[in-house]
């Protein structure tokens, strides 16, 4: 069946995208009417989208004043990195144990395609949002492979914050190329069946991301 996308869902996707790419900025206050006028909709779907974004810790609502983007703190980054490591190291180890199965081979093909067909083409291109989307796709493959509904649910719940943190780390000079190399190291180890080494490569990648982001917050 073709699902009719509600106004609320469309407004939510627009607002999330705008927060992630910086169009809706930290430090500014927005009204529901402002967004409604921009999208030519009523305030109701905007209000519903704002509540969802609040639950996902992307915005803060100010009584009688509107809403603003919730800043990402060093503690937010630390906890996001910890959650990713916990989920993804397990997922990579599971995939490494299954590289000779049909499902494992299919997952590896998808990961390799992300690297060679998508991420490689963006190595030296300043299209941070597109690179971030491929980054998220690459990491999501091993999580989907586990077929663990709780892992997948947690990943979906964190998705917007993950996108926001990831894209913030990509604006630094040469980060696209460095991130590509870090992803290649993860893929190389998991494709060889080396789960622990793949997990170690993932941790190194995550710690590098955390160092870049927390360093930026302190400057």
In Å, how far are 56, 62, 90 from 157, measured between CA atoms?
A: 7, 23, 18
Residue 192 pLDDT level (bands cut at 50, 70, 90): very high
CA distance 214 to 216: 5
Give the per-residue pLDDT at 5. 65
Sketch the domain layout of the chain as residue ranges.
7-69, 74-218
28-67 confidence digits (pLDDT tens): 999 999 999 999 999 999 999 999 999 888 999 998 889 9
How far apart are the C-alpha atoms of 123 and 191, rounded to whole Å?
22
Q: Which CATH number fits domain 7-69: 1.10.3720.10, 2.60.40.3080, 1.10.1780.10, 1.10.10.10?
A: 1.10.10.10
The whole-model pTM stands at: 0.83
- CA distance linking residue 137 with residue 129, whole number of Å: 12
Which is nearest to 209 in space by CA: 162, 159, 156, 157?
A: 162
- 66 backbone φψ class: left, alpha, beta (φ>0; ψ -120 to 50): left
**Alpha-carbon span 30 to 117, nearest angstrom:** 39
In the chain, the percentage of residues whose pLDDT exceeds 90 is 66
Q: Which superfamily is assigned to 74-218 in CATH?
A: GntR ligand-binding domain-like (1.20.120.530)
The burial of 77, by beta-carbon neighbours within 10 Å (0-12 exposed, 13-18 middle, 19 or more buried), is given as buried
Say whether pLDDT at 219 is over 60: no
Q: How confident is the model at residue 76 (pLDDT cuts 50, 70, 90)?
A: confident
Q: Give tens-digit pLDDT for 130-185.
A: 999 999 999 999 999 999 999 999 888 888 888 888 888 888 778 999 999 999 99
Question: What pLDDT, on a 0 to 100 scale, did the predictor assign at position 171?
Answer: 81
CA angle at residue 116 from 114 to 119, to 5 degrees? 60
């Amino acid at each position: 069946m073709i699902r009719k996308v509600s106004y609320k869902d469309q407004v939510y996707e627009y607002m999330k995208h705008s927060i992630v790419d910086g169009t809706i900025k930290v430090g500014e206050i927005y009204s529901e009417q402002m967004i409604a006028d921009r999208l030519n909709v009523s305030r109701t779907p905007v209000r519903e989208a704002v509540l969802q974004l609040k639950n996902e810790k992307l915005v803060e609502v100010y009584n009688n004043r509107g809403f603003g983007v919730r800043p990402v703190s060093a503690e937010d980054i630390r906890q996001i990195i910890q959650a990713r490591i916990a989920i993804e190291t397990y997922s990579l180890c599971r995939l490494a144990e299954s590289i000779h199965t049909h499902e494992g081979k299919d997952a590896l093909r998808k990961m390799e395609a992300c690297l060679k067909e998508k991420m490689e083409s963006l190595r030296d291109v300043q299209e941070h949002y597109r690179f971030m989307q491929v980054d998220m796709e690459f990491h999501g493959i091993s999580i989907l492979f586990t077929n663990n509904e709780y892992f997948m649910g947690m990943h979906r719940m964190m998705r917007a914050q993950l996108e926001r943190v990831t894209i913030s780390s990509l604006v630094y000079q040469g980060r696209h190329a460095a991130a590509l190399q870090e992803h290649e190291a993860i893929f190389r180890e998991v494709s060889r069946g080396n789960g622990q080494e793949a997990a170690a490569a993932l941790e190194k990648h995550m710690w590098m991301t955390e160092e870049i982001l927390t360093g930026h917050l302190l400057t």
